[in-house]
Structure 1
Amino acid sequence: MFGHVNPILPLVLAARDAGHDVVVATGADVIAHLEARTEGRGVTTWTVGPSHREAGGGPGTNWLSYFAESARSRAADLVPRAVDWKPDLVVSEDTELAGPVAAAVTGARQVVHGIGIMPPIQVWGALGPILDELFERFGTSGDHRAATYLELCPPSLRRPPAGASAAERIWPDAVPLRPVAGAPAPGERLPAAVNALPYEQTVHVTLGTVFHDNRNVLHTAIAALSALPVNVVATVGPDVDPTGFGRQPAHVLLAPYLPHTLLLPRCAAVVSQGGAGIMFGTFAHGLPHLVLPQGGDQFMNAEAIELAGAGLALHPAEVTGAAVADGVTRLLEEPAFATAAATVRTELAAMPTAGAVLRALTS
């Protein structure tokens, strides 16, 4: 999934800039996206394991089962190629279980790359047995929890705020790493219509690239915000025709996708599903956030954002047009939200860069 690949790209590019040989292994449906963002940088890609849909991804997915089951076929593809390639360092994101096996089989150093808030240790009860099974299948063993963990989450958003004790974390050995939104692909631009929007303030609305199929939530949010004196820029999801949402007023712009690194600097607030990518991107610009969590880690993220005072959340049963309009109005008019969001932005800016962390990992 895009939200599991994009967070790792800064480290990938830092490794190439430092002269290392780099291979990125991922599902077939993310390869083109990955290659577009590493074009000309000498990054090799391997297609391994199932696509998102083949793995059962979609509305109503049991995500722990999704990560566990997809790891079996991914490991079958990845481990033999890793044995031939002989890596020194294997980096896998925190829901990916084939990478630890490849590291153990090849004797490489294992690093776990966070993609959001570190999952609670209770998740390990579901994923740990699958990893043990994979270790046994490939005739190896390992202590996954002893891996170095690259933690993208700033202190204000950790569970509980400011972090937990080592015993309460899946990975006690954690190193901070600043999350960075991916650069636009070559030639990517915002549509000219963005410059023609009439109001001073702009609100971005998105449900990301996994939960965008929940059209009712998007319809509700877009309709509610179109009644406010703000510009509304909504992304409705890959391969989705925006005309299916009906005719919109002049201050509402819909598109399948827009690069956040170009759009968010123009915004005053964000309404989203609360995935890690949009959460960190929003706070990197010091913007308050209304979260409409749909699944996965989004409920955890919504809680963290509210506890930090940097936004509000509406759970599925609470999402009405009036509630969305009221939430965004509060974010724009009550300065405490922007102040808390600015605090998170300062924390993010103080975290080490991918280049600095890479040097520490390879020294």
Structure 2
Amino acid sequence: MRVVCSFVGGAGHLHPQIPLHRALAAAGHELTLRGSASATQTAPREIYRTIAGRPDQRSQLADEIAPLAPVDIEHELAVIARHFAGDAARTSAAAISADLASTDLVVCDEVDFGAIGAAQQAGIPVAVVAVAVSGAIVRPRLLHDALTALGHDLGMSGPVRPYGDAFVVPFDPSMRDPAHPAPSNALWMRPDSGAAPQPDGSIVATLGTEFNTESGDLFDRILSALALLDAPATLAVGRDLDPSRFGDQPAHIKIRQYVDLAALVPRASVVLHHGGSGLFLQSVLGGAPQVVFPMGADQPFTADRVHDLGLGRVLDPMTATPDEIARVISAVRADGNMRSRVLALRSSTLALPEPAAVVEHLSRIAR
């Protein structure tokens, strides 16, 4: 098959798809990847015939870190309709339109409504990959008007159908918010397992690749907390921030633009992060409890799952002090029951069907 793989956001919209992309390539299918240039730089280039990255601001150093804003759930839900089903969708649809005449299958992330609609208008099967672990950020009833308008603009007779022909979920079913169940066409898929957990007492911290430049002084407060602890710590600030802006640090703290989280997280005693679904999953697979600072997007919903499943602690990014952060880190590191819950969820996640089984299903529905 000739497969177009598309994503509309940052790396967090690409990485959950990669196990499926690898399985498609391993089965002999021909892949084209389209998405933001900064995120395509992190893709395994050898599995794609073509990679076409759209320019984005994340490819350049940011001059400033914007102040933190209070979390506004209604605003975050509205962004899905206004942005992802609006201008971003039209940009994505235009980006893949030239590929569709010779395409058998489209694979895209769950808010790439432009790719979904373009495929549906062209009569091409589309596999939608979940990228929000909670399932709470994409709510079709709130999207109906926007998806109807998008469908009209794309020449469809009705609204874009957001779940596509197959809805691939690379998360354990228990991770999803019970109030927002997966659709009836869901296919559960095992993510990449990564290295086995071997905790060495270290700490890993990151605020991701989108909200890192909208985090106010949170990096500074995290660094001050890490300075209070006698544990090796690594803080990843993102490719678009210069580590030198944070000044000199104690010898046990390293600040990097980019780190290999797949190598570091399995050795961590705790992971501090923003509540991105990718970091949530990577922490579970690495066997590490989490301390979460939700700032926006789907992060508040992810934080709720961390709390409800007993996988870590949630702190207010606006008000958490260095002393509070340090105390919570110490408590989480010492909680053996919490780590046991993480490891049990890791085992459940790795028992999901392999990506190759999903590829077999997609091969049957592709034209």
1:287-320 deviation digits (Å, cap 9, x = unpaired): 1000011111111001101110111101233411
Over the matched positions of the two proteins, sequence identity in percent amounts to 27
Q: Match of 2:26? A: 17
From 3, 8, 13, the equivalent of 2:12 is 3
Aligned-pair distance for 1:45?
2.3
The reply to whether residue 178 of structure 1 matches residue 190 of structure 2 is: yes
Contact 2:275 2:303 in 1 (8 A): yes
Contact 1:290 1:313 in 2 (8 A): yes
Q: Match of 1:208? A: 208
SS across alignment from 1:22: strand
Q: Match of 1:242? A: 243
CA distance in 2, matches of 1:75, 1:182: 33
CA distance in 1, matches of 2:151, 2:99: 15
Name whichever of 308-317 and 292-301 sits farther off: 308-317
Aligned-pair distance for 1:124?
2.2
SS across alignment from 2:168: strand
1:160-187 deviation digits (Å, cap 9, x = unpaired): 3xxx5xxx5463321111223799xxxx
Contact 2:110 2:131 in 1 (8 A): yes
CA distance in 2, matches of 1:4, 1:91: 12
Aligned-pair distance for 1:131?
2.4
Q: Match of 2:45? A: 38
Contact 2:128 2:164 in 1 (8 A): no
CA distance in 2, matches of 1:28, 1:202: 32
Q: Check 1:285–1:83 CA distance in 2 against 1; reply closer, same or farther (3 A cut).
A: closer
Q: Match of 2:171? A: 153
Aligned-pair distance for 1:94?
0.7
Aligned-pair distance for 1:121?
7.5
Aligned-pair distance for 1:251?
0.9
SS across alignment from 1:268: strand
Q: Match of 1:283? A: 284
CA distance in 2, matches of 1:121, 1:295: 11
From 75, 83, 95, the equivalent of 1:77 is 95
CA distance in 2, matches of 1:53, 1:241: 13
Q: Check 1:97–1:200 CA distance in 2 against 1; reply closer, same or farther (3 A cut).
A: closer
CA distance in 2, matches of 1:287, 1:24: 31
Runs of 5+ unmatched residues, structure 1 = 184-198
- Greater length-normalized contact order (CA 8 Å, ≥ 6 residues apart): 2
The reply to whether residue 251 of structure 1 matches residue 268 of structure 2 is: no
CA distance in 1, matches of 2:212, 2:137: 29
- The within-5 A match list for 1:159-170 is 159-160=177-178, 164=179, 168-169=180-181
CA distance in 1, matches of 2:193, 2:344: 18
Runs of 5+ unmatched residues, structure 2 = 1-9, 60-64, 70-74
SS across alignment from 1:317: coil
Q: Check 1:53–1:244 CA distance in 2 against 1; reply closer, same or farther (3 A cut).
A: closer
Q: Match of 1:190? A: none
Q: Match of 1:219? A: 220
CA distance in 2, matches of 1:361, 1:207: 34
CA distance in 1, matches of 2:137, 2:262: 32
Q: Check 1:128–1:179 CA distance in 2 against 1; reply closer, same or farther (3 A cut).
A: farther
Q: Match of 1:195? A: none
Query: For the aligned residues, what is the CA RMSD?
Result: 2.6
1:121-170 deviation digits (Å, cap 9, x = unpaired): 8732443323222222232245444632111221332203xxx5xxx546
Q: Match of 2:109? A: 93
1:14-34 deviation digits (Å, cap 9, x = unpaired): 111111121122134433333
Name whichever of 24-33 and 329-338 sits farther off: 24-33
TM-score, reference length from structure 1:
0.84
Q: Which amino acid in 2 is paired with 1:172?
A: S
Contact 1:309 1:336 in 2 (8 A): no
CA distance in 2, matches of 1:138, 1:305: 39
